[in-house]
Chains A and B, each alone.
Chain A
């Protein structure tokens, strides 16, 4: 298990309806671990843990700040955040980076949709601090724009704001059509929003290596195909469609470490002895996935009908 960071809520900002910004400091008052812009932390909630983007620039942070959209129908993490009070303890896993800026990029085009502004704000702060060339397009629903004032102050006229789809789509296309070679595009927002951004970029000739996405939250996963898991002691477990490998293992009485049950925290990693995993998590790097020697058993399944695991 990773080292936990003990935090305490030091401030709460509820200015934007439905979005809560938490400021968290180390319970012992110390400087917190640095992080790469665009990183997220996993917070232990009262239900399954959730991952949230850090909005700071990551250099010698004394606080971590996250902004959380209230999703009344969500799994409960957002409701838990919205129920916190100043002084409450919060346990976090160390920050992880899956959405880092490409430092040799000659220009950084940031595109945020709604609450997807959170990792983008971290990129913006870092770009401004270190003098990287940056430009931001931020689309949000009228009255629901988080961090508007900070973005304006940081970016000045390098930021543009949109509350209607048409003008956003036009500006996005115009912006992406005219970037110097060496530019990189970073986008975060709802899945449909990011799909549209990627589609626009691709149509304008952007190669995949210049497009960077941060998937926040977890899209509903399909129930998956049934398969069998072979345990180290030779037992064979059936993992039916709609049941996760983690659930099947728990059903067989195994005690598997887990925290988020949605593929973001990294606790439930299981070693694969044979068979090919079908990776569906947001935790493992592309290289780790390609190695096919482990999987996150809470969301990932088998490519074939059998997976031998080291448990």
Chain B
């Protein structure tokens, strides 16, 4: 059995779509929005933060370059606010954390959590899957049957998956 989700490294927004309010404790803001469904959230955030200026990005790639550009001139007080499908926001959050942003400087909203990135611990390839936590998926690279484990690597932005072992179906604890 999996532990309750609040005791794992899996953020609640990685389990079900969730939209937190804008972080009013910041002083300057950048929003990174992925997909059409994000627009509603962007509008709500920008409205809540007014009259503070908000830089809104619609990255075509991972958003890492946009984030780096803002980061280069950002002062403490800046908040990065990410919204979009789980795969995109997990990836960009990992990049932001790697660049030294703190958890309390990043706001994450998910518009969809049906696809999740799973890193195979055996071959290190990432598989994007609809399998949920505790379910299995086939590694796109090595073909092993992977259990989607209830752990998100913060700096990699992926769930961990390892081979299902009939003897130890519950996985490492």
Among the 9-residue stretches A178-186, A226-234, A271-279, the one with 4 or more Cβ atoms under 8 Å from chain B is A178-186
Instruction: State whether B100 touches A206 (Cβ < 8 A).
Output: no
Q: What B residues does A210 contact at CB under 8 A?
A: 76, 102
Q: When chains A and B are docked, how far (Å) is the Cα of A207 from the Cα of B104?
A: 6
Q: B3 an interface residue at 8 Å Cβ cutoff?
A: no
Cα distance, A180 to B78, chains bound together (Å): 10
Most-contacted residue by chain B among A181, A182, A209, A210 (CB, 10 A) = A181
A181 & B27 in contact (Cβ 8 Å cutoff): no
| Total contacting residues, chain A, CB less than 8 A | 18
Task: Decide if A177 touches B75 in the complex (CB within 8 Å).
Answer: yes
- What is the distance, in angstroms, from A101's C-beta to the closest C-beta of chain B? 15
A167 at the interface (CB under 8 A from B): no
- Roughly how many angstroms separate A184 CA and B51 CA in the complex, as a whole number? 27
- Chain B nearest Cβ from A175, distance in angstroms: 11
Contact of B76 with A204 in the complex, beta carbons under 8 Å:
yes
Main secondary structure of the interface of A (DSSP, over half): loop
B134 within 8 A of A: no
How far, in angstroms, from A178 to B77 measured CA to CA in the complex? 9
Contact of A204 among B27, B79, B100, B104 (CB under 8 A): B27
CA distance A207 to B25 in the complex (A): 8
Tell me the complex Cα distance, A181–B75, Å: 5
The answer to the question of B91 belonging to the interface, with a C-beta cut-off of 8 Å to chain A, is: no
**A205 contacts across to B, CB distance below 8 A:** 25-28, 76-79
What A residues does B101 contact at CB under 8 A?
181
Q: A207-B102, A209-B104 are in contact. Are A202 and B75 (CB under 8 A)?
A: no
In angstroms, Cα B73 to Cα A179, docked, is 10
When C-beta atoms are compared, the residue in chain A nearest to B76 turns out to be A179
Instruction: Show the binding face of B for A, using Cβ within 8 Å.
Output: 25-28, 71, 74-79, 100-105
**Chain A contacts to B: CB under 8 angstroms:** 104, 106, 176-183, 202, 204-210
